[in-house]
A and B are shown apart, each in its own frame.
Chain A
Amino acid sequence: MQTADQTLDEILTLAAAHFKVPRETLGPDDDFFKTLGVDSLQTLDLLTRLEHHFHVELPDYELEGVSDFRTLASRIQARL
């Protein structure tokens, strides 16, 4: 099974590619709403992409209040 650090790295890489920002500008503790400027529809889009990438289900309510990549990675890691 992959490590939490690997999961976090994959999320950052996927977010950078999808939102077309340099990977090095994204940090684990960044607020992705602010860093990426995503709205509610883009948040859903990102959620769907993460579910497909990691082959997991992420109920929306598990992500309530989650705004940084590190916590997001921990939620995904818990379902791998």
Chain B
Amino acid sequence: MRTLQEQPRGESHSGHSFRGQALSWQLKHGTIELALYREPCNELGSLALDELEKFARALESLQPEAHALIIYSELKCGFCAGADLRELYHRWQGMAKAEGLRGVRDFLERIHKVLNTIDAAPLTTIAAVHGVVFGGGFELALACDLIIADKMARFCFPELRLGLIPGFGGIPRLKRDLGNGVVRDLLLTGRSFNATKALQVGLVSQMVGEGEALRVARATAVQLSKFDRETAIAAKRFIKPVPQEELRQEIDIFCDLFGRPVVQAGLKKFVESTDAQPYLP
């Protein structure tokens, strides 16, 4: 008999659960848990995107039975280190510029669709984060309604170091949640924040002890289950509009910036770096 891990890629083994190479999900007691576990640190490349798209499609059939979604990482390194820059760089090397830019735009359109689905899902979504919450990983967390952070979580938008802006909806969603001064600090300095700072500025709703984020997220999901679902959905729609126009603008700006030599040089430097601090310029 096959174990779950031996299932062919992408094969769902029940209507309520799935286990792939980058992530799994399971619906249990009204809560969907989406676990990330792609080494080295849940980088979001084509494989993760394929499986996230499967999840977004499955969400439609799961959500009538669910009141909450928890997204978390099973890896020690953290929640997610962001886009898979190595894959991006190597793919770009084999393509003509126009073809490469089409590929980048297509990837962005697809991941935006997934994150918009999570953002607007008619259930309460919780990112339970620890360790590295960088770039695209930060953007995935920002699509959720609540962020519960382990005290060792660290948040960062390092994209300007590569000559880019965040491309997975980060700035419009950060602007939705925080004051513009904090957004500018994170974006324009590229520095990282710890969970204490994130709590102070209102980015996270709770900071918890090391290793406690998932437990607290589950307890929060139980609390959410006590409320009338229709009311919770109405409240969410009222207070958390998806910033569609700015999200579209972000894709355009990202693609305009991406084709420049400075970006290719930044990606090359990152990919080839053996430095202990490759995230620094």
Interface of A toward B, CB cutoff 8 Å: 33, 38-41, 43-45, 47-49, 51-52, 57, 59-61, 63-64
Instruction: Decide yes or no whether B77 CB sits under 8 A from chain A.
Output: yes
Complex-state Cα separation, A43 to B194, whole angstroms: 13
Q: Give the number of A-B contacts (CB < 8 Å).
A: 53
Interface of B toward A, CB cutoff 8 Å: 41, 77-78, 131-132, 151-152, 154, 156, 189-192, 194-197, 275-281
A44, A45, A59, most chain B CB atoms within 10 A: A44
B151:A52 contact, CB within 8 angstroms:
yes
Residue in A43, A59, A60 whose beta carbon sits within 8 Å of that of B276 in the complex: A43
B78:A61 contact, CB within 8 angstroms:
no
- Cross-chain pairs A/B with CB under 8 angstroms, 12 sampled: A40-B278, A41-B78, A43-B277, A45-B131, A47-B154, A48-B154, A51-B194, A59-B191, A60-B191, A60-B192, A61-B280, A61-B281
A41:B131 contact, CB within 8 angstroms:
yes
A33:B276 contact, CB within 8 angstroms:
yes
Complex-state Cα separation, A58 to B191, whole angstroms: 9
A51, A59, A60, most chain B CB atoms within 10 A: A60
Chain A nearest CB from B153 CB (Å) reads: 8
A44:B276 contact, CB within 8 angstroms:
no
B194:A52 contact, CB within 8 angstroms:
yes
Extra A-B contacts (16), CB below 8 Å, given A49-B152, A52-B196, A57-B197: A40-B275, A47-B192, A48-B154, A48-B194, A48-B195, A51-B196, A52-B151, A57-B194, A60-B156, A60-B191, A60-B277, A61-B191, A61-B280, A61-B281, A63-B277, A64-B280
- Which B residues are in CB contact (< 8 Å) with A52? 151, 194, 196
Chain A nearest CB from B155 CB (Å) reads: 11
- Which A residues are in CB contact (< 8 Å) with B131? 41, 44-45
Residue in B151, B154, B189, B277 whose beta carbon sits within 8 Å of that of A59 in the complex: B189
A41:B132 contact, CB within 8 angstroms:
yes
- Which B residues are in CB contact (< 8 Å) with A49? 152
- Which A residues are in CB contact (< 8 Å) with B77? 41
- Which A residues are in CB contact (< 8 Å) with B196? 51-52
A40:B191 contact, CB within 8 angstroms:
no
Residue of A whose beta carbon sits closest to that of B76: A41
Residue of A whose beta carbon sits closest to that of B280: A64
- Which A residues are in CB contact (< 8 Å) with B78? 41
B132:A44 contact, CB within 8 angstroms:
yes
Residue of B whose beta carbon sits closest to that of A42: B276
- Which B residues are in CB contact (< 8 Å) with A45? 131, 152
Residue of B whose beta carbon sits closest to that of A61: B191
Complex-state Cα separation, A7 to B195, whole angstroms: 23
Known: A45-B131, A45-B152. A64 touches B277 (CB 8 A): yes
Complex-state Cα separation, A15 to B192, whole angstroms: 20
Complex-state Cα separation, A40 to B154, whole angstroms: 13
- Which B residues are in CB contact (< 8 Å) with A44? 131-132, 154, 192
Chain A nearest CB from B76 CB (Å) reads: 9
- Which A residues are in CB contact (< 8 Å) with B279? 40, 60
Known: A40-B277, A45-B152, A48-B152. A61 touches B197 (CB 8 A): no
